[in-house]
Structure 1
Amino acid sequence: MVYSTVFLAFFIIASSSAYVLLENDDPEESIIWPSEFNFNAEVIDLVNAYIETLEVWYSAENNRSRVDYINGTNKVYYVGETDDDLGVEYTIHPMTTEEVKNEIVCVKADLEGEQPDFLPVTDDYEYSHEEQLDGKQVRVWTKEREDEDEELIQTTLYVYRTDYDFDVPVKMVRKGSNLKDGATIFHRMTNFKQFGFLVDAADVTLADESDCEEALNTDFKTQIERLHPHNPVHVNKAFHSYKKHHSKTYKKTEVELRKAIFHRNWMRVHAHNRKNLGYRMELNEFADRTAEELKGLTGTRPSPPIAHGSMPFPHTNEELMDLVEELPKSYDLRFQGVLGPIKNQGSCGSCWAFTITATVEGALSKANGGRNLDLSEQSLVDCAWGFKNYGCNGGQIDKAYEYVLKHGIPLESQYGEYIRRDGFCNVDNTTETLKIRGFAMVTPRNPEALKLALVKYGPVAVAIHASNNMQLYSSGVFYDIECDGNYPNHGVVVVGYGERDGTPYWIVRNSWGENWGQDGYILMSAVNNNCMLQDTPYYPIV
């Protein structure tokens, strides 16, 4: 999405002036904000399903403002920039370490520009009509735009004119929809409450400013925990730090677009992590991309219901019942020395190819005593089209194994490096390909069978549904209700299993780079066959 200013959770923030005062007093021609005010706001995020409250004080006369979050648990004071000096931001929050518990600390940082006033810029709004709202006769202003990302952004602002000839905000509703299918992307409503016009200097002045320490240059993940996505200054700081941390560079014309997407994802991450759902999300390298742009992270096509391996799974249910007793309580192939480094498929939908090579590499290594190989994913992208695989546009795990069974996989050192694009097949120029004797499907939706396959045969290829939540996964046991009703779209590799706080999980290897998740891995809940992980598990026979 493209915005002319920073997109906030509940409004477009004013970043330059305390109020708008026009000579034309016609109420249908302008909105006039007061220069001193205090209000409470209730922010309702209808998509991410959470509510947050804040209180704001603003004083143009004192060149200061303040915002309190979570009933004052976190406070931020601002002193605006002047002709002589930079402004200052004081952030106050509790801190707990091994030595102290809930100690209140204050951190000081430079602030460029005026102190924020937390009211929307209204230049582009059009007067619509009047109506009754919360017992007041309000004027309704609207703004609508279609952006370059094929999204429709609609904003409705409800204000009423006081006897002092300035306006007071009552409610703001912002909604973003996908123009292709009408799906809601974001939908946020802010209710402004207890709006007052008298602000004392003490309300916006920190009594003990000298006690605040200078902000240290901390890493991005630590810094983001101290910032807040509802704060316009923090949005700019967080985005600047994000770009530096992930070495991001943008064209001039796309900076505001990336900042808006980043901010939207920050709101998602912030809302999710507050719910304590068992796993955490983070602002990783994908946080400045839309869901449409990230489709290249997936690419595995579901196998048909009648799909099966070239060899049957060699254990009956009766045998499984006897063998289960011998299985370890937890198991992790990462500690067996049979797995190579995490790889990155990039924007090519070749997860299916990375899934196949990882399982074949692991099975061969397990069989020959830990001799690790680096097989060529690019050879599968380029050469396996005759087996219902489509390069960077996706492939099927069972069909990819059929290709490997017939043709093998060359070493990357012989075939050439992975290029993240479809290329010419040059497998004939290689001198050696690694072969498999077959592949088998593990008994579907049987966790004990999957555990046995891991322990006896090595890593197992599976097709899952990878949602947008998974793309921002950070840590914990991942359980996603958004998988329900969807189809598999991503190939990954199960490399172990375990249990945390009573929840069983699978250890899953991904192909989105080692900076994603837990060093490239994710713990996926084994409850209710979440994300269809156990529907079509395959392993190679070497």
Structure 2
Amino acid sequence: MSLILLVIIYKSFSQKPPTFYGLLPKKSIQPLSSSEIPTRLQKNNTFYPFILNEIPSSLSYCGTYRKRNPHKTEDYCIKQTMNQGECGGCYAMALAQVLQAHYTHLTLKHQAFSTQQIIDCSNNNGCSGGWPASVLESLQYFVSEIEYPYRLITINGNSTNNYKKECIRGRRTKIHVSDYKEVIGPITFEQIKVLLIEYGPFIGMIYSNDQLRKYSGGILHLDCPVVPTLNHAIIVVGYGQENQEKYIIIRNSWGNSWGEMGYARISMNDLCGLDGIKYSDYPTILYLKTQCLFLFFSLNIITHNVIVPQQVYSNY
């Protein structure tokens, strides 16, 4: 009788990028058209902690890129970038990282949110992939990484894609997603700037390949196929310009040894899907509005209004 060795590893993962990223595109029936995203700042109360009269040439909420911000700001991201390992859970890690950045914005405290809870408890395919918006359809609350830690499971060297999902109920955190929107259609650099200033870090869907896997620094020019496949979810945390070249700053889920300490700068000319230019059926951006529930307990007002676009699975 063969002995099956089950190894559960908490937090210590191989720094090798995964071979399966984990994004399974879903067609959205009622996304927000990119034409509805303004190119100028619209609100006085923005996510960025300072009032801006004009859009700055560079801005980042995370990492050392913040040194170029027009004002000194808190690092909204936890220094240690999670590594999804061989689990196709990029959709879960992207959402967990956006929630963490929003929580820091609301409380000025860092708290990691559980990727494993999203993988186990949402209406997705676990380590076989999923879509960030479908998490928000099926999960009403989120727990911390400390309470529900990420685990990488291998059985005789096989991928984690076949492990059984087991959802464990835990203490809910105080973060609440009050609204979210998916964006479909071509989006410009100016519109990305506005989204970041007004709504903070957001999730982007891109085409990932060996070129991205081997990225080690600098401004990346991705070689895209004619119609790139949306297969990976990341978070967009900033933007900038160097030698007249515009780029966005992303935070990945492949550990700190990848890229620029877990981040990458991708040329605006080669976003491979995120810009929505070659897509008419699938949203390529998901942004959130969040609240901290404890701020509303004293007023006895708790918002449960989550806008949920109707969606169906695609065989894409």
Same structural fold, with TM-score higher than 0.5 when normalized by the shorter chain: yes
For residue 177 of structure 2, what is the aligned residue in structure 1?
436
**For the structure 1 residues 481 and 409, does the alpha-carbon distance in structure 2 shift closer, same or farther, using more than 3 Å as the test?**
same
Shift of 1:402: 2.2
**Counterpart secondary structure, 2:265:** strand
Shift of 1:423: 4.8
Shift of 1:449: 2.2
For residue 409 of structure 1, what is the aligned residue in structure 2?
142
Shift of 1:413: 1.7
Equivalents in 1 of 2:227, 2:131: separation in Å?
A: 20
Equivalents in 1 of 2:207, 2:61: separation in Å?
A: 23
Offset from partner CA, 1:366-423 (integer Å, 9 cap, x none): 122x2111111001111113xxx1011100122123234xx22111222234335445
For residue 373 of structure 1, what is the aligned residue in structure 2?
111
Q: Give yes or no for contact 1:383–1:425 (8 Å, CA) kept in 2.
A: yes
For residue 263 of structure 2, what is the aligned residue in structure 1?
521
**For the structure 1 residues 458 and 427, does the alpha-carbon distance in structure 2 shift closer, same or farther, using more than 3 Å as the test?**
farther
Query: Is it true that 1:303 corresponds to 2:26 in the alignment?
Result: yes
Q: Give yes or no for contact 2:31–2:184 (8 Å, CA) kept in 1.
A: no
For residue 49 of structure 2, what is the aligned residue in structure 1?
none
Relative to total residues, which structure has the larger strand share, 1 or 2? 1
**For the structure 1 residues 325 and 342, does the alpha-carbon distance in structure 2 shift closer, same or farther, using more than 3 Å as the test?**
same
**Counterpart secondary structure, 2:129:** coil
Offset from partner CA, 1:60-110 (integer Å, 9 cap, x none): xxxxxxxxxxxxxxxxxxxxxxxxxxxxxxxxxxxxxxxxxxxxxxxxxxx
Equivalents in 2 of 1:427, 1:363: separation in Å?
A: 24
**For the structure 1 residues 357 and 285, does the alpha-carbon distance in structure 2 shift closer, same or farther, using more than 3 Å as the test?**
closer
Query: Is it true that 1:455 corresponds to 2:191 in the alignment?
Result: no
Question: Which residue identity lines up with residue 302 of structure 1 in the other structure?
Answer: P
**For the structure 1 residues 453 and 321, does the alpha-carbon distance in structure 2 shift closer, same or farther, using more than 3 Å as the test?**
closer
Aligned ranges 1:136-155 → 2 under 5 Å? none
Offset from partner CA, 1:7-54 (integer Å, 9 cap, x none): xxxxxxxxxxxxxxxxxxxxxxxxxxxxxxxxxxxxxxxxxxxxxxxx
Question: Which residue identity lines up with residue 459 of structure 1 in the other structure?
Answer: P
Equivalents in 1 of 2:136, 2:85: separation in Å?
A: 22
Shift of 1:447: 2.6
Offset from partner CA, 1:349-368 (integer Å, 9 cap, x none): 00000001111111121122
| Correspondence for 2:133 among 385, 390, 398 | 398
Q: Tell me how many residue pairs correspond in the alignment.
A: 241
Equivalents in 1 of 2:240, 2:26: separation in Å?
A: 27
Equivalents in 1 of 2:212, 2:191: separation in Å?
A: 25
Aligned ranges 1:250-269 → 2 under 5 Å? none
Equivalents in 1 of 2:225, 2:219: separation in Å?
A: 15
For residue 61 of structure 2, what is the aligned residue in structure 1?
333
Question: Which residue identity lines up with residue 221 of structure 2 in the other structure?
Answer: Y
**For the structure 1 residues 454 and 443, does the alpha-carbon distance in structure 2 shift closer, same or farther, using more than 3 Å as the test?**
farther
Equivalents in 1 of 2:225, 2:274: separation in Å?
A: 10
Shift of 1:487: 1.0
Q: Give yes or no for contact 2:235–2:250 (8 Å, CA) kept in 1.
A: yes
Over alpha carbons, which structure has the higher Rg?
1
Question: Which residue identity lines up with residue 289 of structure 2 in the other structure?
Answer: I
Equivalents in 1 of 2:30, 2:255: separation in Å?
A: 30
Equivalents in 1 of 2:92, 2:53: separation in Å?
A: 34
Question: Which residue identity lines up with residue 394 of structure 1 in the other structure?
Answer: G
Equivalents in 1 of 2:40, 2:61: separation in Å?
A: 23
Identity of aligned residues (%): 25
For residue 479 of structure 1, what is the aligned residue in structure 2?
221
Query: Is it true that 1:349 corresponds to 2:88 in the alignment?
Result: yes
Equivalents in 1 of 2:41, 2:199: separation in Å?
A: 18
Equivalents in 2 of 1:363, 1:487: separation in Å?
A: 28
Q: Which moved more, 1:373-382 or 1:451-460?
A: 451-460
Aligned ranges 1:226-241 → 2 under 5 Å? none
Question: Which residue identity lines up with residue 413 of structure 1 in the other structure?
Answer: I
Gaps of 5+ in 2: 1-12, 43-51, 67-73, 154-159, 277-283, 291-316
Aligned ranges 1:185-334 → 2 under 5 Å? 285=16, 294-296=18-20, 298-306=21-29, 308=31, 316=36, 320-321=39-40, 323=42, 326-334=54-62
**Counterpart secondary structure, 1:450:** helix
Q: Give yes or no for contact 1:473–1:516 (8 Å, CA) kept in 2.
A: yes
Equivalents in 2 of 1:307, 1:521: separation in Å?
A: 31
**Counterpart secondary structure, 1:352:** helix
| Correspondence for 2:102 among 363, 368, 375 | 363
Question: Which residue identity lines up with residue 408 of structure 1 in the other structure?
Answer: Y
CA RMSD in angstroms comes to 2.7
Greater RCO structure (CA 8 Å; 6+ sep): 2
**Counterpart secondary structure, 1:435:** strand
Q: Give yes or no for contact 1:442–1:449 (8 Å, CA) kept in 2.
A: no
**Counterpart secondary structure, 1:359:** helix
Q: Give yes or no for contact 2:41–2:198 (8 Å, CA) kept in 1.
A: no
| Correspondence for 1:493 among 228, 235, 251 | 235
Question: Which residue identity lines up with residue 371 of structure 1 in the other structure?
Answer: K
Offset from partner CA, 1:485-531 (integer Å, 9 cap, x none): 2211001000000012211101000001100111111111111x521
For residue 298 of structure 2, what is the aligned residue in structure 1?
none
